[in-house]
Structure 1
């Protein structure tokens, strides 16, 4: 891992058709072209899956818009989110947020478990922090919260792990993507050395 490398070059590409307008990121000029091609194919796969899941191809009434967010782009770590919104009638549309975190030197995709030491229970400490924040922030739940999933949605932003939930997964629609910043100091003892959270410290 190259600790002081420059951010990856990201260009915006666009899919524009009738009832469909989606912007997505393309990584350019990486040292390893195979890695670059792989990362871009993963991103394109996410975008295509999200479009399919909106029902765009089945329902001629469905309007779809998509955009992306660069959450982290430093020290060889690229964490991005693809946001897809669709409306097919009714009171309001629906939005899904899919995130992925890469090592831009190798193309490795980091799962949540990869951020932590091997054979360590990361689910409980993360869940305990989230339970505390739910109370502190008075978030009204539509389902009881006991623990995150081992593969819970996340991204890394401002060198902080951000755990989030899809619309209606935890709270009412009006609360959007309920997101919980996990203070690094509270999980210091279980962070994997050489993993993204360690590299970004």
Structure 2
């Protein structure tokens, strides 16, 4: 009997050991899910297309309306809503100029540059009766940042030599144009009036600011090629300079009081949709 009991206990122990033993059958591991990747060449191409689109010419239309009782304004209106801040800045500048005049006036807004992320306009306010130029207000914008540019924003902040170079070029051009200067041209300030074309930086002065009345609102065009050593490396003018635009055949000096002497090839007056 004792022998039977021992056999039963052994059999029970064997069964328990068999149940607790780990299974030798391997559970198949799930295969890792392949990660979704975009080839680097496609990424570079997509970014290149995005950059080209964002820095290309902007679509706009010409808008005209009466302002006050007897003045009229004309301005470019950018079609994309993302550029509403630029539209607002242009319209505000025009209204501010007209509010300072106590006479019937009209405006002309010429687009001087619309490429490489630069939108530059030249606003002219004239007497409605005599056609006399009463004010010239240029505005230049970086369309990528949707912000207005001051002259200092175009240059390397660690190289200030451009401030002395610009008046040297202005005086040289004034001498060639036989202008009578009233004083030495001072170094360029941050608030200096300017606009840009695809190949030049144009500096503007008010009547009597540097020259006699006959000079009107004098403008001096400086080729970007003369400024590349001082331009901001990734700035708007460097983009224009690197775009390879050929300098147009135009006068360096321009007298706004006699616009018949000069016709800018960069001025656009019709609706433009790239």
The TM-score range, normalised by the shorter chain, is 0.7 to 0.9
Question: 2:127 matched to which residue of 1?
Answer: 86
- Unaligned stretches of 5+ in structure 1? 56-61
1:183 aligns to 2:199 (yes or no): no
Q: 2:171 aligns with which of 118, 122, 131?
A: 131
Q: 2:96 aligns with which of 46, 49, 62?
A: 49
Contact 1:54–1:86 (CA<8 Å) still a contact in 2?
Answer: no
Please say which of residues 1-10 and 127-136 is displaced more in the overlay: 1-10
1:118 aligns to 2:194 (yes or no): no
1:77 aligns to 2:118 (yes or no): yes
Contact 1:66–1:85 (CA<8 Å) still a contact in 2?
Answer: yes
Larger radius of gyration: 2
Q: 1:6 aligns with which of 48, 51, 56?
A: 56
Partner SS for 1:11:
strand
Distance 2:231 2:204 in 1: 19
Contact 2:65–2:74 (CA<8 Å) still a contact in 1?
Answer: yes
Deviation at 1:184, TM superposition (A): 2.2
Question: 2:106 matched to which residue of 1?
Answer: 65
- Unaligned stretches of 5+ in structure 2? 1-49, 242-274
Contact 1:153–1:163 (CA<8 Å) still a contact in 2?
Answer: yes
Question: 1:20 matched to which residue of 2?
Answer: 71
Distance 1:145 1:15 in 2: 42
What CA RMSD, in Å, does the superposition of the two structures yield over aligned residues?
A: 2.2
Runs of 4+ in 1 over 4 A off after TM superposition: none
Name the one with the larger helix percent: 2
Distance 2:62 2:234 in 1: 30
Name the one with the larger strand percent: 1
Contact 1:2–1:76 (CA<8 Å) still a contact in 2?
Answer: no
Distance 1:3 1:83 in 2: 31
Distance 2:65 2:87 in 1: 15
Question: 2:137 matched to which residue of 1?
Answer: 98
Question: 2:201 matched to which residue of 1?
Answer: 161
1:197 aligns to 2:248 (yes or no): no
Encode CA deviations 1:106-158: one digit per residue, 9 max, x unaligned. Answer: 212111011110132221011111111111221122x2133144121100013
Deviation at 1:88, TM superposition (A): 8.2
Contact 2:124–2:133 (CA<8 Å) still a contact in 1?
Answer: no
What TM-score results when the alignment is normalised by the length of structure 1? 0.84
Distance 2:227 2:116 in 1: 21
Partner SS for 1:2:
helix
